[in-house]
Structures are given as structure tokens and as C-alpha cells.
Structure 1
């Protein structure tokens, strides 16, 4: 059935529901009675509330000493975390266990904690094994005993109390009666708890405040402690690295006798530069002394030279040279050493005096050895020897200084070679210390920041109960009346929905639109269901209107057909029991009343008492070969030309044999279909087989057994008696309150 939202559909649905009024009445009544019975012992419900100040959005911040900056997403996340902690299973479990401990410590019920009825129910179910765990007057010890007992296995009383559906101590029941919400955009949260015992309601909320505050603070501080521990460990590692690097530098300095590498290397460089200048001067002096000695020795005779090389003079000369070397060493130490001592001066003075004595001895030895007054060039020999002696002393002194200088030069070279790689090592060790120190300072800074944040967390996680849980004196209004009302509404809506749904899913033909859609033929008339008759309906008038509609439809079909005698019509159906015989009798009786002479040719004897002229033919045998209506009445002494209308009724074409070619001689064909059945593939195939024989025919469908509601769509208002109220309701629904018939 196509659904269109119009007045007829509204009336149709109302009529459909009225047909099943008993179901629509029994449904609400039964559901009302069921809810009434189930809620007769409904316990009272008490509600307690508490408010907590969190400081999440506008709390103080140690880092800025001002209110913390409001970050909407961070604030939402923080509140979600807090609410999730409150609504967590662990929190509810601990609350239930602590509440159980509180009740078990009572010697008698107290109104502010637990009612007498709840206390009696508790004592009745607690086994002696659990009761023996109670430590009188000691809450924490009792709690520890109960907790250990609960955790020892999964089948003990306390574990089942927490995990099964106990209305007071089960975590699932506790969470189902708990409601947490943030108060608008403030720093406050409101926690609401409902219970049938006002004392339990208040105490549960009181314990909730203690447990969740502790858990939330612990979670936040554990995170902070983990960060602090990490940075502390990193700081300890950095300290070890720094100490190890500094120890390596200290060890290096000790091994290499370094006090201050950069000052020492600078001092060595300065000393080397000064010594280089001094060393060059010595070279020049030594060369000059050698040259002067050579000139002087060239002026001496061979005998003089020979005398100068005697053992005594050479010995004195060597002593003077050795002493000059010692003096040069002491002079160098006094002049170039980093640390000087005053005893150097005394030693140098003694050695110079001793050198002077040796020089005097050498001079005396030379004077004794040589008695010649003049040289070969006429120069005074004493003068030449004196000059030679002076230059020998100077030469030996310079040569001594050169010997010491060579050693010192080698020492400087050794120091440079030694200090050069030490500088690179020193740089590497200092760089290592610098990196370790920076790493240490960076981690130390991070540790200080983490400690500051920890203090800030401790400040912000210090939740405050701004409104303590109240003891509810008045229970909430009962919802029994609302439940009863809802039950009645649901008891009506569900059956009504099922009735309408089944009507939509009904596969029967039912109405004109479906009949035309399935048969692909026009419906010329409809007839009501004569078997199932409604009260206060004039079925005689309904039959007259339907037959009149059929009569008019037939003449509309044959209008324009060439008149070659009587109108020959075939009435047929695809299935048995469609009402062909009855409808044919109605039609022919109506036509007889109108003055038409009619003949009914039927495949069976008509059992009804009727004045209609009729003939019976055999639907089997030779009749199947009939090609015209005349063949059916052959040998019957009937003249068809004397009749105005001839109606031939065939057996159901889907289940019986019938003369197919008879359709080629007919003027029109009337298919009879029952409305209260479905249209099957067999019906469709039966019509398809007749398609070639009926192409030239005028065809129509008679829809039989139609419900009265569908009749109204084709013939108008159904004739019958109606009460004043029913007529008024129909006018209201169809918006015809003020409509009147015109004369």
C-alpha cells in the first residue's frame, strides 16, 4: 500500500487501530499492572552533595607568583583526569571497603552512619571468619586485615562483596549511583551520590572525598617524583664525569710537575728567547777570542809556544777552564733559574777568587818560563804573554759559558718538545672538564626547575572541600507515577506500531491500486466482503452501488464496439473461490431489472435460486476446441441473437482446462480477483499465457472481498447508521465541520 499523508490515510489508520481496540486497551492495562506490581515496594532514594575546590583553572603558580595562565584545552584535560580518578574502579573499590570497615566497627547502628535495617542486613550476611578480623577501636588495622583477606584469593567474602552486585559495597553499584560534574567554568566540581539509606549516602561521599584526593595527589606527585629522580640520577652521573675529568687533569699535572701550564710555558718561552740572545753573544765572543788568540800565538816563537804547552801551564789552564765552567753554570742558574737563592752569590764570589788565584799562578808560571824580553818582531814578550794570558782566560771563560749554553740549549729544546704535546693534552682535558661542567650545570638547572614544578604541583593538587556532604533528611520524589504513565504510553505505542507495521507488510492485494499494478488492468468495480459483515452497515445498498458501478464500467468498455448482435462477455479468474458466480448473478439480475435480456453460460450448475436464463457446458472434451460462443450453445435450441447480453463463466484458468480460443469471439473479458489474498507468480504466468488471445479485447478487473475502508475510496461514504459522536469525529478529522449538502 502506497503511503500518502492525507485525510484518507489518517482515517484509514484510525480505523485500522479501532479494529484491534482490544489489543490497544489490554497492552497499556497489562503494562500498567506490571509496573504497579514491580514498584509497589520501591525504596526511597536520598541524595547527598559535596563541592570540591580544585584550583586547576585559576590556582596560584610558584613560577610566576601569579594566577596560572588559563589554557582551555589543558584545563578541560585536567578536569577530565580528576573526574576519571573519581570514577575509577580503584577509587570505588577502596571507598566500598572503607565503608564496610566503618560499618563493621559499629557495635550498634547509628543514624548518621547506617540505618537499623541496613545494619541488620549486613550483620546477617557477614561470616564469623570476617567478623574476627575486626580490631575494635582501630580503623586502620581493621582496614589492613580486610584488605589482606580480600587479596588472598578471588573467592572470599570481601572480594565478592566488592565485585558482585551488593547495593552498598560493590564498586559497580557505587559508580552507578555517583555523579561528578564541573560547575560551569569554575574551579569547582560537584559530586552527587544517591542511596536508599541517608547515613550511607553521606558517609560514602565523605569517604570518597578522602580517597580520591589522596589518589589524585599521589598520581601527580608520583609523576613529579619520577622526573626528580631522573634528573637527580643524571646529576649524579654528571658529577662523577666532572670529578673524573678533574682527577685526570690533576693526575696529569702531578705526573708532569705542572703548577700552571700556561704561565710555565710562557716563562720557558721568555727564558728561551733571552737565552738565545745571550747564546748568540757568547758565540760572537768565542769567535773573537779565538781570532785574538790566533793573532797572538802567531806572534810567539816556536820555543814560546812549546813552553806554553808544558804540563804545569796546561794543568793550570784546565783548572781555570773547569772553574770557569762552574762559574758559568752558577751565573746561569742565578740569572735564568725561576727560583733564585742568595748562596749562589757567595759561591760565585769564592769561585771567582779561586779563579783569580789560578790566573796569578798561570801568569807566574808563564813569566818564569819565559825570560826573553822581546819577540821576533821587536815587541815586548811580557806584553804579548800578558795579552795572551788575558785572552786565554777570556776564551776559556767564554768557552765554558758556551759549553754550559749548549747544555742549556739542549735542555730548552727538550722542554719545548716535552711541553708541546702536553699543551694539546691539557687542552683536551680542560675541554672535557668544560663539557662536563656545562652538562652538570644544565642538569642542575633542570633539577631545580623540576623541584619548583613539584612544589607547584603540591600546591595545586591540594584540593579543598568547600562544601561538606550533607545528611539528607528528605527523599527524592518517587518516579512511580511517571513510570506508570510511560508504561501506559509504551503499552499503547508498541502494539499500535506492530499493527501498522503488519498492515504495511501485508502481502494481500487489498485495494484498487495494488490490483491495477499487479494485473496491469483497470478495476471497473469493487465488491465488499459479504461474509464478514460489520454492524450498522447497509450491505444491500453497498451491493447495489457496486453492481451499478460494474454495469456502468461494462458499458464504458464496450462503448464504440461494432454492434453485431449480443454483447458477449467472459468472466474468469486465475484461482478458485474468487466469487465469479455470485458476481455474475448480481450483474445479470441488475441487467434484467434494467430490461436487458441476458443469458448465462456456465461451466457448472448454478445452485442459487435465480430467474436468470442459463446453460451449462462441459469444460472438458470437445468443448476445449470451441472457437466461439455459438459452439457452446450448439444443440441447445438457443438463438443467441435474441439476447442483449451473454455472459460466459469459465473455471479458474490456473487450475482447470478451458477453451482458450473462446476469448477471440468475445467482446470483453472480466477478471475476478479476491482482495484478501496475495498475487502469486502462478497468477502472473496464467495471465501471460492469455495475452495473445486477449489483445483485441476490452478488459477489466472486478475486485471482490474488499474491506469497507477501501470501498469508501471508490464509491464514497459507506451507507449505514452512525452515532452522533462518530459523525462529529469524522468531520473533525476530515476538516468538514461546517460543510453542508447543497440543494
Structure 2
């Protein structure tokens, strides 16, 4: 369907298109003229989401994050929890005000409140302050789902119900940081007070929601820091106790000193052992050189005591020297004192030996004094080295024991240090996260403080009534519905309707059209019918005078079904040919109810007999019954019009079909062309060689000029 076809289709139903919207508009006005007045109040809030200031400086522009933040704010305002809190506060305020001013009970909305809540419930909810009353209302409403407050919130009450708060809306103003909140109500005072409460609840919930998230994170990291700090303390205490119990100051230095000192002591022990062996050999040699008498004198009690004393002093000196070497310091006063005492003891021994000067020579002729001096020196060296060996071996045994004790402590100490390091790292990581969370919390507190730019206003006049939009929408809806219905039915209509559609579906050329007698004005119908008949007659005459010329020119008028205007077409053609001076003979089946006022010669034949006997045209004329035959016997008949019975309902005289020169197929435009119709026409075309063209009946006036 083209656009022009759609317009013509709508124009044909202009009365319905005008009447239905008018009726709907009047009905909408009648039923909506008493709608309550609506007041609107709004407020503007600055959020700072897009361009606000944070601890890191100006907020960075992030389109997705900004839109997400604004969506969260708007959804928070329209959340059920927000609306419930607004209803609780509004109800608590009105309960408290009603208790303070009982005269308000006869005004809205206090009268509704008295009707919805029994006096006992109101008295139970009432507190000494608004805050106490609000807490009572909250607890009472959440106790169960059958209490009056819960029922009131979920009713259709225009003041306290959640349905009334559906008129609360929020929207971002352009691309700015501002959010506009709006509320509509039937009362201006209720409108403003409800919006004030909604704004307060919205600000509180927004702040609590954002700060609550960071507060929970801060609490978590505070616990983690405390736990990590406790772990560090335990690890440090364990390390300290281990070092204290094992006398460890610096394990690496101590273990290194022990190993170094042990190695040095082992070297000195070897050297002293060699010196001791040498001194012992010298002493034995000197003893052999001395006689028995001198040897016995040297072994006297006094000399032995002095030798023992010298041995003790040498042991003390060796011990003190080793101690000073470990401390890496110079000779101490004690060492000097011991050394002096040892020297004095050696001199005393030398003095005792000198008392034997009377025996001046030895058995070998060596002076005794020199031998005794050598003996004293060798004896002193032996005693000194013996003392050193004793002390060094003792110290070496101590170092071996200390080395064996220190060796396994290293692994334990490393494990304790590793545990301490891990605990410190965990503590520092938790502390860093805690500091970041606190900074984020401070940043959230800084950015979550929404500010009211424009406080809710008191509306002084109602909004423009909804009556006009309702009437307009009703009328437009009716028009659109009717137009859609008409166009839909037009699209679903599969009838031929237009000459172009008929030619496309039937597959035959269109010879002419006859207008719909019910949808066409009389004057237009008469002129169009005259023009169409003239066109068909001229078409017949043109075909009759086209070689090869046959006389008479036989035209068949057929239709697929009964009652498809083929008789009307045949009569109109015969009458018009007669008026134009063309000698015409019309043949009709005897079952047709033709008009009694026929101007052209007409005959009636029996279609069944003609079909059964195979009559040709001459035989058909001879056996036909005359109806109006003033000129029937004239040999000058130029055109013979033969109407046949319906193709799908009667038997056709096949003999006459073969003599046809031209065929008109009458088809009504108000019915669809089916497959059976197409098959019937194809069988007709197979039975005759005459060309077949369509005459379309009942065409709308706007399609008259398409042929």
C-alpha cells in the first residue's frame, strides 16, 4: 500500500476518524473535569561529584564514574527504605503536632490520620518529643504486617502511603553537579513539608551509606594493625628471650670471634708445646751435667716451693695474657703485677742456687755457677710453658664447648629473625592500608557533604491542570487507534481493489473498469459509466476491424462465479452499441433475470442443451427464444454478445467458445483472487484461442483513471 493509497483509505473513513476522537475527548473531559489540584515543590542540592574538591585536589573527570554516582544518588532517593523513613517522620510530626494542637484534627491531613489510626494507637505512639515519637512509630510499623501503620503505608492514602511518595522524583540538572528534587501533592503545606523531610532523609542516608563503607574498611584495618603489632611484639620478645638465654649480643660477630680465637689458640698451643718440649730437653741435659749432689740440692724443699710458686704465677700470667688477647687490649695492671712477682720468684730461686757457689766446677770441668744459672733459666722456661699449656688446653676445651653450643643456635636465630621480619612487613602493610583507608574516609567525609542550594519552596498555585493533556491524549489516541485500525484492515484486505492489483494477481490485461455504485456520487457515476462503456465499445470495434476480420464479431462475456455482474456488462455493452448505431445481437442464458426494457435485439438460449448438443453460433441463434427482435433477422449484424454461465457453476457450450473472437471476463473488485479462480481462467484460455481481458467492477472512484 502506497502513501497515496493510505491517504485515500483514510479519507474514505473520515467520518469515523472525526467522530471517535471527538467522542473520546468529550468523555475524557466529562470524567476528568473534577480531578484534584496538584501542587509542586522542588529543591536543588549540590553534590560536588563531577567537579568537587578532594584531598588529592580537584576531582578528576570520569564520565562513567560520574554517571554511576548520580544514578546511585537518584536511586537512593527513590528507594523503598527512603520512602518509608519519610513516611515515618511525616507521620510522627503530625502525631506530635496533633497532640500539641487538638484543633487541627478537623483539617487535612490530620482528619485522615484520626480516621486511619485508632485513638489507642495514637496514644501509644505519642512521646514527649518528636524523636521519641519517631522511634515509637518505627518500631510499631516494623513489628508485624497487620498493624495500622503498616497498612497505612501500603494503602492508597494521598499523604502517608508509599504510593503517594511515588510522586517524589530526582534528576540531574544538565551536566552540572546539581540534583533537582521535586514532589507533587494535593496540599501545598504537605508538599513542602514532605519534600523537606525527603531531603533530610536523603542527605542522611547518602552520608551514612558512603561513610559507612569506609568506616567498615577502617575498622577492619585497625584490627589487622593490632593483630600484626601483637605478632611483631611476640616475635621480638621471643628473639630477645632467646638472645638473653643464650648470651647472644651479635651472633655473627660472636661466632666469628669464637672460630678465629679457637684457630689462633690452636696455633699458639702448638708453638708453646714445641717450646715446652725444647725447654724440657734443655732442663734434662743440664740435670745430667750436674752431679747428684747438686741435683739433690736443687731438689731441696725451699727450691721446690719456689718452683711451685713460679708455676702458679706462670699459669696466672698465661691466663691473664689470653684474656687480654681476647679483649684486644694492652697489658693490664694485674698482668704486670704477676709478671713482677714471677721475676722476683725466679730471682729468689737464682739466689738459692748461688748459695752453692762453693762447688765451683762440675764433673765435666764446667763451672757450677754457670750450670746452675742455665738450670734456673731452663727450669723457668719449662714451668712457664707448662703453665701456658695447661691454661691453653683448658681454654681450648672451653672454646670447643662454646663452639658446639653456638653452632645450632644460628638456625634458630635465623628462624626468629625471619618471623620478626615477616611480622614487621605485615604490620607495615596493614599500617599503610590503614592510613590509606583513613585518608579515603576523610576524603569521603569531605565529598559526601551534600549542600542544599535552594530549599523546598511553598507552592502558591497549583500546577497547570491535567485536564487539557488528558483530553488531547484521549482524542489523539482515538484518532491513532481508528487510523491504525483502518490501515490495518486495509493491509489485511486481499481483495483486488485497484486495476493494477487486479492485473498483477489475475495475470490478464484490464480492458476497463466500472465504478462502485454505492461509493460514487450519482453524477460522477453516470459520467464515469458512460466513459467506461464508450471505451469498451471502441475496444470491441478496434478488435473487430483488426485483420483477420470476422463477421459477425463474436464477443463472450464470462465470470468465474455467479452474481459477478456479467449480465449487467452484457446488457450495457449491447445497449451502448445499439445507441452508437452498431448492429448488435445479445445472447443470454435462459436462467438470467434480464431487464424487460431491452433496446437491442436479444435472444435467450439453454446453456445445458447447447453444451450437450454442441451447438455452434448459427444453431444457437436458431434455437434461441427471441426477447426483443425488431432487427434480429437483419443480415447486417456486426457484433454478437454472448453471455455464458458462471465458469465454476454451469456447463459451458464449448462449440461456441471456439467461435469467439474476443472475451470479456467480469471480475468484482471487492473479492480476493484465489488459486481456484486462476486455475479456472487457465482452463478457459486453453479451451479458446480468443484473447481474454478483464472488466473490473466496483472500483473506487479514485482508481477510475488508472485504465
- Is the shorter-chain TM-score for this pair beyond 0.5, marking a shared fold? yes
Alignment match, 2:320: 331
Partner-residue secondary structure (3-state), 1:171: coil
Alignment match, 1:557: 543
By how many angstroms is 1:686 displaced?
1.0
Partners of 1:129 and 1:272 lie apart in 2 by 99
Alignment match, 2:362: 375
By how many angstroms is 1:383 displaced?
3.9
Alignment match, 1:210: 200
Does the C-alpha gap of structure 1 residues 445 and 540 become closer, same or farther in structure 2, counting only changes over 3 Å?
closer
By how many angstroms is 1:479 displaced?
3.1
Deviates more, 1:83-92 or 1:441-450: 441-450
Alignment match, 1:528: 515
Residue among 37, 44, 67 paired with 1:44: 37
Partners of 2:27 and 2:624 lie apart in 1 by 74
Partners of 2:31 and 2:617 lie apart in 1 by 75
Alignment match, 2:160: 169
Does the C-alpha gap of structure 1 residues 339 and 110 become closer, same or farther in structure 2, counting only changes over 3 Å?
farther
The answer as to 2:663 corresponding to 1:674 is no
By how many angstroms is 1:644 displaced?
1.8
Aligned length: 697
Does the C-alpha gap of structure 1 residues 463 and 542 become closer, same or farther in structure 2, counting only changes over 3 Å?
closer
Alignment match, 2:697: 704
Alignment match, 2:478: 491
| 8 A Cα contact 1:317 1:362, kept in partner | no
CA offsets per residue over residues 26-75 of structure 1, 9 Å max, x none? 3123212221122221111111122223233444434x5x5444444443
Does the C-alpha gap of structure 1 residues 541 and 110 become closer, same or farther in structure 2, counting only changes over 3 Å?
farther
Partner-residue secondary structure (3-state), 1:107: helix
Does the C-alpha gap of structure 1 residues 35 and 298 become closer, same or farther in structure 2, counting only changes over 3 Å?
same
By how many angstroms is 1:150 displaced?
1.9
Alignment match, 2:275: 285
Partners of 1:631 and 1:465 lie apart in 2 by 107
By how many angstroms is 1:262 displaced?
5.3
Alignment of 1:147-186 (within 5 A): 147-174=138-165, 176-186=166-176
By how many angstroms is 1:203 displaced?
0.7
CA offsets per residue over residues 112-133 of structure 1, 9 Å max, x none? x999233223322223453233
| 8 A Cα contact 2:173 2:179, kept in partner | yes
By how many angstroms is 1:359 displaced?
4.2
By how many angstroms is 1:249 displaced?
1.4
The gaps in structure 2 that reach 5 residues or longer are 626-631
By how many angstroms is 1:140 displaced?
2.1
Residue among 187, 204, 207 paired with 1:197: 187
Partner-residue secondary structure (3-state), 1:105: helix
By how many angstroms is 1:210 displaced?
1.4
Residue among 669, 674, 685 paired with 1:691: 685
By how many angstroms is 1:425 displaced?
4.3
Alignment match, 1:624: 612
Partner-residue secondary structure (3-state), 2:459: coil
By how many angstroms is 1:542 displaced?
4.1
Alignment match, 2:579: 593
CA offsets per residue over residues 392-434 of structure 1, 9 Å max, x none? 2331222121121122223234334444544554455334434
Does the C-alpha gap of structure 1 residues 258 and 699 become closer, same or farther in structure 2, counting only changes over 3 Å?
closer
Alignment match, 2:555: 569
| 8 A Cα contact 2:605 2:624, kept in partner | no
Does the C-alpha gap of structure 1 residues 11 and 346 become closer, same or farther in structure 2, counting only changes over 3 Å?
closer
By how many angstroms is 1:654 displaced?
0.5
Partners of 1:263 and 1:114 lie apart in 2 by 93
Partners of 2:683 and 2:158 lie apart in 1 by 74
The answer as to 2:27 corresponding to 1:34 is yes
Deviates more, 1:350-359 or 1:69-78: 350-359
By how many angstroms is 1:536 displaced?
5.0
| 8 A Cα contact 2:616 2:656, kept in partner | yes
| 8 A Cα contact 2:38 2:185, kept in partner | yes
Alignment of 1:347-426 (within 5 A): 348=338, 352=342, 359=349, 363=353, 374-381=361-368, 383-423=370-410, 425-426=412-413
Partners of 2:241 and 2:6 lie apart in 1 by 107
Does the C-alpha gap of structure 1 residues 108 and 229 become closer, same or farther in structure 2, counting only changes over 3 Å?
closer
Does the C-alpha gap of structure 1 residues 489 and 439 become closer, same or farther in structure 2, counting only changes over 3 Å?
closer
By how many angstroms is 1:574 displaced?
0.7
Partners of 1:413 and 1:428 lie apart in 2 by 25
| 8 A Cα contact 1:511 1:710, kept in partner | yes
Does the C-alpha gap of structure 1 residues 632 and 318 become closer, same or farther in structure 2, counting only changes over 3 Å?
farther
Alignment match, 1:720: none
Partners of 1:85 and 1:463 lie apart in 2 by 14
CA offsets per residue over residues 274-306 of structure 1, 9 Å max, x none? 7567546534532441342243234245x5698
Does the C-alpha gap of structure 1 residues 344 and 627 become closer, same or farther in structure 2, counting only changes over 3 Å?
farther
| 8 A Cα contact 2:554 2:640, kept in partner | yes
Partners of 1:162 and 1:560 lie apart in 2 by 92
The gaps in structure 1 that reach 5 residues or longer are 715-743
The answer as to 2:136 corresponding to 1:145 is yes
Alignment of 1:25-104 (within 5 A): 25-62=18-55, 64=56, 66-104=57-95
Partners of 1:245 and 1:540 lie apart in 2 by 118
CA offsets per residue over residues 550-605 of structure 1, 9 Å max, x none? 21121233342423421112111110011222221221122223333322222216
Partner-residue secondary structure (3-state), 2:441: helix
Residue among 201, 217, 229 paired with 2:219: 229
By how many angstroms is 1:523 displaced?
2.0
CA offsets per residue over residues 88-121 of structure 1, 9 Å max, x none? 221111112211221222228999x999233223
| 8 A Cα contact 2:46 2:178, kept in partner | yes
Partners of 2:279 and 2:546 lie apart in 1 by 168
| 8 A Cα contact 1:325 1:403, kept in partner | no
By how many angstroms is 1:347 displaced?
9.0
Alignment match, 1:733: none
Alignment match, 1:548: 534
Does the C-alpha gap of structure 1 residues 211 and 350 become closer, same or farther in structure 2, counting only changes over 3 Å?
same
| 8 A Cα contact 1:569 1:666, kept in partner | yes
Alignment match, 1:125: 116
Residue among 221, 246, 255 paired with 2:236: 246
Alignment match, 1:3: 2
Does the C-alpha gap of structure 1 residues 631 and 349 become closer, same or farther in structure 2, counting only changes over 3 Å?
same
| 8 A Cα contact 1:114 1:197, kept in partner | no
What's the TM-score once normalised by structure 2's chain length? 0.87
Partners of 1:635 and 1:242 lie apart in 2 by 132
Partners of 1:631 and 1:318 lie apart in 2 by 186
Deviates more, 1:165-174 or 1:349-358: 349-358
Does the C-alpha gap of structure 1 residues 187 and 643 become closer, same or farther in structure 2, counting only changes over 3 Å?
closer
Partners of 1:539 and 1:83 lie apart in 2 by 67
Does the C-alpha gap of structure 1 residues 675 and 265 become closer, same or farther in structure 2, counting only changes over 3 Å?
closer
Does the C-alpha gap of structure 1 residues 207 and 114 become closer, same or farther in structure 2, counting only changes over 3 Å?
farther
CA offsets per residue over residues 636-687 of structure 1, 9 Å max, x none? 6997965222222111010111123432221111111122222223222211
| 8 A Cα contact 1:327 1:352, kept in partner | no
Alignment match, 1:654: 648
| 8 A Cα contact 1:598 1:646, kept in partner | yes
Measured on the aligned residues, the alpha-carbon RMSD in Å equals 3.8
Partners of 2:582 and 2:62 lie apart in 1 by 97
Alignment match, 2:629: none
Partners of 2:673 and 2:565 lie apart in 1 by 16
